[in-house]
Amino acid sequence: MASLLRRGLWGAAILVALLAGTIADNRFHAEVEIVKKVPTTHKVVALTIDDGPHYKTTPELLAVLRKKQVQATLFVLGENAARNPEMITQAVADGHEIANHAYSHKDLTKMTAAQCGEELDKTDQIIARITAKPTLFRPPGGLYNETVLAEARKRGYTTVLWSLDPHDWQRPSVDQVVTTVVQHIAPGSIVLLHDGQYPLPTAAALDILIDQLRSAGYEFVTLSQLLQYYEVRGTGGGRS
Ligand SMILES: [Zn+2]
């Protein structure tokens, strides 16, 4: 009798846990319009690299990531992807996630809904010809308004910004990039890095900071994997 009762209680507990999971899922979709950081207690982080691919910087970045066995998320521009499709193929073969950064890096907030949609669709089609249709979107410059978010949402995209920005595109020293990232990293961080122009300190910085973060117990995952760590309890985190 006692063991029956215990089993019943366990059943109820599991049911409650399952229901809570369902509610958490719904909340994720309903409330998280933009992801900037993933609230989690796990030491997982995502490296995101914007504006590529570029004939000179992308091979350097991919070589470092391959050497370190790290999978990153590349927010590519449609016009650059069209110019360097073989680099997208290589990135996919290396296990990286390919995401949409619009077509031409223009400010989407200055566009009509139709123009903004076209920027998304053109890039989407170029990527989809090479690999899986992307599910993540980051507006150029991180600039967005209701129209931009609505066009992204209509196409099933999750809009993702970042929580840690070492300004690598402004060409600080390799040490400055490493120090900024290592000092500010936290569980669930989304690190913003760049490709698409030359020279950048980014590849050399990655070579150092990946080892330092691993020594501190961090694990690198793609953005889609990082979103799986989203913990609803607590407030703040990455909501916007
Ligand atoms: Zn960009």
186 alpha carbon – ligand 1 mean position (Å): 23
- Same domain assignment for residues 91 and 21: no
The answer to whether 79 touches 88, Cβ cutoff 8 Å, is no
Q: Is the dihedral of CA 159, 161, 162, 163 positive or negative?
A: negative
- Same domain assignment for residues 98 and 184: yes
In a domain, 239, yes or no: no
Task: Give how many domains the chain has, as a whole number.
Answer: 2
Q: How far apart are CA 121 and CA 233, in angstroms?
A: 35
- Same domain assignment for residues 72 and 113: yes
The pLDDT assigned to 231 comes to: 87
How distant is the alpha carbon of residue 118 from its chain centre? Answer: 22
Cis peptide before 199 (omega within 30 of 0): yes
- Give the H or E element holding residue 30: helix 2-31
The pLDDT assigned to 73 comes to: 98
Q: Catalytic: which of 105, 124, 194, 195? A: 194
Mind listing the pLDDT tens digit for each residue in 45-71? 999 999 999 999 999 999 999 999 999
> Which of 208 and 23 is assigned the larger pLDDT?
208
- Spell out where 85-189 has E strands: 97-100, 136-137, 158-160
Q: How far apart are CA 194 and CA 74, in angstroms?
A: 9
Long-range Cβ contacts of 149-157 (<8 Å, 24+ apart): 149/33, 149/34, 150/113, 151/113, 151/116, 151/117, 151/120, 152/120, 154/117, 155/117, 155/120, 155/121, 155/124, 157/100, 157/120
The pLDDT assigned to 209 comes to: 98
Residue 30 has pLDDT above 90, yes or no: no
Residue 232 has pLDDT above 80, yes or no: no
Residue 16 has pLDDT above 90, yes or no: no
4 alpha carbon – ligand 1 mean position (Å): 59
197 alpha carbon – ligand 1 mean position (Å): 11
Mind listing the pLDDT tens digit for each residue in 125-150? 999 999 999 999 999 999 999 999 99
> Is residue 143 classed as helix, strand or coil in its secondary structure?
coil
Binned at pLDDT 50, 70 and 90, residue 27 comes out as very low
> Is residue 146 classed as helix, strand or coil in its secondary structure?
helix
**Structural domain boundaries enclosing 101:** 33-227
Q: Any idea what the CATH number is for the domain that residue 53 is in?
A: 3.20.20.370
Q: Catalytic: which of 29, 50, 105, 107? A: 50
The pLDDT assigned to 3 comes to: 47
State yes or no: is 194 an active-site residue. yes
pTM confidence score: 0.85
The pLDDT assigned to 18 comes to: 41
In a domain, 133, yes or no: yes
The pLDDT assigned to 1 comes to: 44
Give me the chain's average pLDDT, please.
89
For residues 185-189, give the mean pLDDT.
Answer: 98
The pLDDT assigned to 32 comes to: 59
> Which of 4 and 156 is assigned the larger pLDDT?
156
- Same domain assignment for residues 101 and 176: yes
143 alpha carbon – ligand 1 mean position (Å): 10
In a domain, 96, yes or no: yes
- Ligand 1 is a single-atom ion; what residues have CB below 5 A from it? 50-51, 140
